[in-house]
C-alpha cells in the first residue's frame, strides 16, 4: 500500500503541472491569436465601404422597362443631414451602355446638398444591340462620412415587344372651297417603353401650305411623348389659290430613330366660280345715237374652279335709259369658259349728246362681278339731212327769185 501510495503520490504533481502548463499555453495562444487578428480586423474595416450616416440617394422609379436602342432618365434626389459635397459616379453598368449624370443643364460629377435640394438626373442609353433581359446600373454617392449606392434595374424588352408609334385621325377627310383652310386633328401615340421626341413632317400638293405641330404650339416641329402616352397634333392646310375641284392627298409622318408612323389625310376641293366681265373687243365704251338704240357684245368669263350656275345679268343705267340682255340669263358657265351676251342700250328720249356711264353686272354660283361702260350719245344724222334739205330749198328759192325779178 505504502509503496503504491508512494508511487501514486508523485504522479499527482506531474498531472497538475501539465494542466497548469496547458492552460498557460492556451492563454498565450489566445493572446497571440488576438494580437495577430486585431490588425487584420482593423485592415478589413478600412477596406470595406462605410455607409454615410444620413446620406440618401433615391429615385422615384428604380426599375423601368426600355427598348433596345432607347434611353431612360432617372430623376435623382440627394439628401444629407447638413449641407455638404457629395461626389456621384456610375460604378457599374453593362458593357456598351453609356451613362451621364446631369444637373443644371451640365454634366456633373458632384452636387452640394442644402436647401433647395439639387436637381440631378441620370441618363442611361441602351445600345440597339442589347438583348432582352434584366440589367443593373449602380450609382454611388460619396460624402465625407462614407458612401451609399443606388441600384437601378432596367428590363430590356425583346424586339417589337415594346410596341411602336402610331398616328390616327377621327376625321381624315375634309371638304371645302379652294379659298378655305383645312385643319386636321391627329393623335400621336407612343406605345414604346420609353419617352420619345418625334420629328413631324407634313407634305401636300405643289403650291399648298402644309404645317404640322403639337396642338397649341404652332412654332414647334417636334412632339415629345412619354412612354405609353399620347399627344394631340394639328395639321394646318391652305390650298393653292388656283386649285381646281378634286381630292388631294396630305401625308403626315412622325419619326424618332427606328420608330416611324404615317397617316394619310385628304382635302376635297369643291371648287368655286369666279366671274369676270369684258367686251368682245376689250373696249369699255359704246356708241349710241340719240333717238335710237346701240348694241355691244358682253363677254362673261368664269375663271374659277367650279361651274357658275344660273348666271343672271343686271344693269344700272342713267335715268330713263333702257338696257336689254340677250340671253337674259345663262344656265351654266363651266370653269375656265366664257359666254357672249348681246347688250342693247336705248337712251332716254330727248337725251343730249355726250358721255354717260352705266354699270353691267353678272352674278351666279356665289360669284359676282361688274363692269362700267361709257356710252357716247351722238346726234341723229336725220337732222343733218333735214338741215341740208332746208339749205338746198333756200338756195333754190333764191335762184328762182333772181331769175324772175332780176331783169326788172
- The residue behind cell 360669284 is 367
pLDDT reported for residue 385: 57
Contacts of 271 (CB under 8 A, 6+ apart): 177, 178, 244, 245, 304, 305, 306, 335
Q: Judge residue 101's burial from the number of C-beta atoms within 10 Å of its C-beta, 0-12 exposed, 13-18 middle, 19 or more buried.
A: buried
pLDDT reported for residue 35: 38
Structural domains present in the chain: 56-156 (2.60.40.10), 165-269 (2.60.40.2310), 275-381 (2.60.40.10)
Report residue 324: phi and psi, to 5°.
-125, 140
Cα 406–chain centre separation = 109
Q: Return the SS3 of 277.
A: strand
pLDDT reported for residue 52: 56
In 180-230, alpha helices (H): none
Quick one: DSSP state of residue 335? T
| Residues belonging to the chain | 408
Q: Return the SS3 of 388.
A: helix
**Residues in the chain, pLDDT under 50:** 1-50, 160
* Per-residue model confidence as pLDDT tens digits over 40-64: 333 333 333 445 568 999 999 999 9
pLDDT reported for residue 43: 33
pLDDT reported for residue 162: 54
3-state secondary structure 349-382: CCCCCEEEEEEEEEEECCEEEEEEEEEEEECCHH
pLDDT reported for residue 213: 97
Report residue 177: phi and psi, to 5°.
-75, 165
- State the Cα–Cα distance between residues 64 and 70, nearest whole angstrom: 12
pLDDT reported for residue 286: 85
pTM recorded for the entire structure: 0.51
Q: Return the SS3 of 261.
A: strand
Amino acid at each position: 500500500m505504502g509503496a503504491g501510495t508512494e508511487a501514486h503520490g508523485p504522479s499527482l504533481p506531474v498531472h497538475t503541472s501539465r494542466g497548469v502548463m496547458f492552460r498557460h499555453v492556451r492563454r498565450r495562444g489566445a493572446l497571440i491569436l488576438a494580437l495577430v487578428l486585431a490588425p487584420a480586423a482593423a485592415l478589413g474595416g478600412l477596406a470595406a465601404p462605410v455607409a454615410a450616416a444620413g446620406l440618401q440617394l433615391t429615385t422615384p422609379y428604380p426599375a423601368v422597362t426600355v427598348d433596345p436602342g432607347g434611353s431612360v432618365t432617372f430623376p435623382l434626389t440627394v439628401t444629407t443631414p447638413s449641407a455638404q459635397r457629395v461626389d456621384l459616379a456610375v460604378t457599374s453598368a453593362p458593357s456598351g451602355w453609356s451613362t451621364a449624370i446631369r444637373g443644371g443643364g451640365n454634366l456633373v460629377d458632384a452636387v452640394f446638398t442644402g436647401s433647395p435640394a439639387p436637381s440631378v438626373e441620370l441618363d442611361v442609353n441602351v445600345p440597339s444591340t442589347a438583348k432582352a433581359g434584366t440589367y443593373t446600373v449602380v450609382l454611388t454617392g460619396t460624402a465625407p462620412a462614407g458612401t451609399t449606392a443606388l441600384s437601378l434595374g432596367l428590363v430590356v424588352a425583346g424586339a417589337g415587344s415594346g410596341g411602336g408609334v402610331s398616328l390616327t385621325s377621327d376625321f381624315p377627310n375634309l371638304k371645302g372651297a379652294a379659298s378655305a383652310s383645312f385643319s386636321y386633328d391627329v393623335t400621336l401615340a407612343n406605345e414604346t417603353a420609353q419617352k420619345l421626341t418625334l420629328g413631324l413632317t407634313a407634305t401636300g400638293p405643289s403650291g399648298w401650305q402644309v404645317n404640322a405641330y403639337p396642338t397649341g404650339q404652332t412654332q414647334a416641329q417636334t412632339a415629345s411623348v412619354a412612354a405609353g402616352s399620347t399627344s394631340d397634333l394639328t395639321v394646318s392646310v391652305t390650298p393653292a389659290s388656283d386649285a381646281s375641284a378634286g381630292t388631294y392627298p396630305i401625308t403626315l409622318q412622325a419619326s424618332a430613330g427606328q420608330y416611324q408612323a404615317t397617316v394619310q389625310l385628304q382635302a376635297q376641293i369643291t371648287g368655286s366660280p369666279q366671274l369676270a366681265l369684258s367686251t368682245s373687243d376689250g373696249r369699255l365704251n359704246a356708241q349710241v345715237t340719240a333717238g335710237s338704240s346701240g348694241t355691244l357684245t358682253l363677254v362673261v368669263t368664269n375663271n374659277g374652279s367650279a361651274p357658275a350656275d344660273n348666271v343672271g345679268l343686271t344693269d344700272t343705267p342713267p335715268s330713263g335709259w333702257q338696257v336689254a340682255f340677250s340671253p337674259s340669263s345663262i344656265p351654266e358657265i363651266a370653269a375656265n369658259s366664257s359666254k357672249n351676251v348681246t347688250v342693247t342700250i336705248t337712251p332716254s328720249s330727248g337725251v343730249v349728246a355726250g358721255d354717260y356711264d352705266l354699270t353691267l353686272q353678272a352674278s351666279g354660283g356665289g360669284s359676282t362681278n361688274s363692269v362700267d361702260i361709257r356710252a357716247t350719245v351722238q346726234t341723229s344724222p336725220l337732222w343733218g339731212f333735214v338741215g341740208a334739205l332746208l339749205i338746198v330749198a333756200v338756195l333754190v328759192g333764191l335762184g328762182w327769185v333772181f331769175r324772175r325779178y332780176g331783169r326788172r
